[in-house]
Amino acid sequence: MSNDYEILTPETVSEYIEATESLRGIVDTSTLEVAEVGDGNLNLVFVCRDADGNGICLKQSLPYVRLVGEAWPLTPERVIAEARGLSAAAAFMPHLIPVFYGVDPERHVLAMENLIGWEIWRGKLNDGYMHTGVAAMLGEYAANLAFHTSVFALDQMEVKEKVAEAINPELCRITEDLVFTEPYIEHDNNSFAQELAPVVDALRADDVLRGEVGMLKYAFMTKAEALIHGDLHTGSVMVEFTDDGEGDARVIDPEFAFYGPVGFDLGAVFGNYLAARARAVVLDRPAEFTEWLAGLAQETWDAFEAEMRRLWATRPDETWTDSFLDAWLGQVLQDAIGFAGCKATRRIIGLAKVSDIETLPRPEHSQAAAMVLGTARLWIKGRKSMDSIAATDDVFIAVSTAVLADGVQAAVE
């Protein structure tokens, strides 16, 4: 692996496009406006638009974690994992991702459609916008990846080759550490409001919880069911309103993609809905919005299940029976609920937090964070007896009501 490559700047992007045969002609570089807009934790992102309104987006992996700096080196080869994730989606669900123009493995640059006018879903949720139908699209996305990249659709030898090809150890290590380990121990990467200390202390002292988080980490590390996105939070989804006022979505950023548990992506989505919902509750958003948020996880799950059942009819190998599918869906749901708890917890305690909670004023910040932590803990511990999204909803309602009535401490009682 070479880390000796030229990092793009807004000034060099036009020259790069002209020098790259597959990109030449997509935009008129003589009139190109370029802005670096990367606000994620890892990469540079250049959005480019010419005078005719044609666009392109270039994403370049830095050889380190952008959020932290050069002190945390990270393989720029992650761009290949992202290209793999985009290619898989392009094959089975092109309407759910930006048009993918290809990857440059030497400069570690991905080129894709510039979604002009689209915005990151997290920000829109923070501001109270309702993009209807987006939650269902994420379920459809997860189902297509789960089916088409797994033994449900592919020959077993092909799957084994793909598992090996898609190995993504450095990125998985980040998830293993940041999601499953660090929040539950003292670690320099952690930080949280002082008012949350009793809640954090309680979860660290909860042996049953720690055991269940260990089980979920083990599943993440060993359960190579299908290619997964690996980081499917609401910041990995771009949205716009359609002319009839519905929402449309494109999933981006699958650089954490590898063969893992299907419930992980769904759990990441549910964990982020939890943060969005806690924000809405403490800000006392209109009932129409909070009720819509409350239904998102069900909408994602229903779409996932419906798409899996539709695709199931096309499976080539009848080893996989209908009763197997029923049992597998039950397992995926329980995995997803557990992963949701872990993904939500890390965003409160660990490195790389979310604006849903971070931009809240005090004391609302601590209230929302406590709602997330209290709910997450009960989801992780209770998931094996949960057979519906409604059961997760009951937990959030109980915890959030208690926190509003009795304060942050109620999240651990």
Q: Could you say which of 82, 253, 299, 307 contacts Mg ion (CB under 5 A)? A: 253
Cα–Cα distance measured from residue 264 to residue 310, given in angstroms and rounded to the nearest whole number: 21
- Coarse DSSP helix, strand, coil percentages of the chain, rounded to the nearest 5 percent: 55, 15, 30
Binding mask 26-45 for Mg ion (x = CB under 5 A): --------------x-----
Cβ-contact 340, 267 below 8 angstroms: yes
Per DSSP, the three-state class of 323 is: helix
Phi, psi of 125 (to 5 degrees): -65, -40
Q: Edge-to-edge, what's the strand order for the sheet holding 55-61?
A: 33-36, 43-49, 55-61, 109-112, 100-104
By CB under 6 A, tell whether 237 contacts ligand SR1: no
By CB under 6 A, tell whether 67 contacts ligand SR1: yes
Termini Cα distance of the chain: 50
Phi, psi of 167 (to 5 degrees): -60, 135
Q: Could you say which of 41, 54, 87, 181 contacts ligand SR1 (CB under 6 A)? A: 41
Per DSSP, the three-state class of 59 is: strand
By CB under 6 A, tell whether 231 contacts ligand SR1: yes
Q: Choose between 42 and 378: whose C-beta lies nearer to ligand SR1.
A: 42
By CB under 5 A, tell whether 307 contacts Mg ion: no
Binding mask 346-385 for ligand SR1 (x = CB under 6 A): -----xx---------------------------------
Least distance in angstroms from the C-beta of 41 to Mg ion: 7
Report the 10 Å Cβ neighbour count for 254: 27
Cα–Cα distance measured from residue 104 to residue 7, given in angstroms and rounded to the nearest whole number: 13
By CB under 5 A, tell whether 265 contacts Mg ion: no
Q: Which among ligand SR1, Mg ion, none contacts residue 145 (Cβ within 5 to 8 A by kind)?
A: none
For tokens 């080539």, name the residue.
316
Q: Could you say which of 17, 45, 65, 142 contacts ligand SR1 (CB under 6 A)? A: 65
Binding mask 171-190 for ligand SR1 (x = CB under 6 A): ---xx--x------------
Residue list 79-108, contact with ligand SR1 (CB under 6 A): none
Cα–Cα distance measured from residue 401 to residue 404, given in angstroms and rounded to the nearest whole number: 5
Cα–Cα distance measured from residue 12 to residue 3, given in angstroms and rounded to the nearest whole number: 19
139: its two tokens: 């379920």
Could you give the angle at the alpha carbon of 101 between the alpha carbons of 239 and 151, nearest 5°? 80
Q: Choose between 212 and 231: whose C-beta lies nearer to ligand SR1.
A: 231
- Of the candidate spans 8-16, 27-35, 170-178, 387-395, the one that interacts with ligand SR1 by CB under 6 A turns out to be 170-178
Q: Choose between 42 and 399: whose C-beta lies nearer to ligand SR1.
A: 42
Least distance in angstroms from the C-beta of 12 to ligand SR1: 26
Q: Which among ligand SR1, Mg ion, none contacts residue 115 (Cβ within 5 to 8 A by kind)?
A: none
What is the pairing mode between strands 237-241 and 247-251? Answer: antiparallel
By CB under 6 A, tell whether 110 contacts ligand SR1: no
By CB under 6 A, tell whether 340 contacts ligand SR1: no
Binding site for Mg ion (CB under 5 A): 40, 231, 253
Binding site for ligand SR1 (CB under 6 A): 40-42, 65, 67, 174-175, 178, 231, 351-352
